[in-house]
Structure 1
């Protein structure tokens, strides 16, 4: 049987402990995520993403759109909220409309995907994307 969303939230199963998660602990999750992405994209350390004109770019782009982002190291490049610009953090929770990131200052922040531009770091590879392009539930990707 499935647990209804109301009971799910009452039990606090979708909430993160704001004080207990540190950036140094989350970066370990990022290392696991980085290995997962490298394996799924076929990247080796030191590799770079293909140029957008290359014929192999489209399959990589499709794989990236389906990638689970829990554990990704993300920088907020543009946002309507000025205080979020330039923030770098590790994704702890990816919902349809937001990311919950733990920043280098050990604070957890909720970052809206709409009207934001992000940069994902996979080793030396930087991938820039618009938040509205991934505004789906992670399970539906």
Structure 2
């Protein structure tokens, strides 16, 4: 399994995976919106998108890292917002390869840590995170609020 940073030349593969990821989270298919979103991210450079490719060079998974800051440490960090592996490539090691690549990229770009959230029911992902040294936050609760405007 090979991982690398995506570029605009990867927009077809990246947007197809992003659309599938959104559908996994019960969003209606919208390849056009997925393409527009990923094109904007890659053009503006406001996220890092990593691809996992199989032996034939086909993109089978992706993760997206958003720059943020750790106020406590007063240093930059990443939010690992999106991680997805196509169903046919699951259990191939693509997910763990993407997590390792994200960690290397974060270290190379001076980030002090990464954070992510996952569904309480996603036990497979939780096991993968734990096996790679991610620690479950048992102190803080996360809250969110939708803002209309």
Q: What TM-score, normalized by structure 2, do the two folds share?
A: 0.31
Higher RCO (C-alpha 8 Å, min separation 6): 1
Q: What TM-score, normalized by structure 1, do the two folds share?
A: 0.32
Higher helix proportion: 2
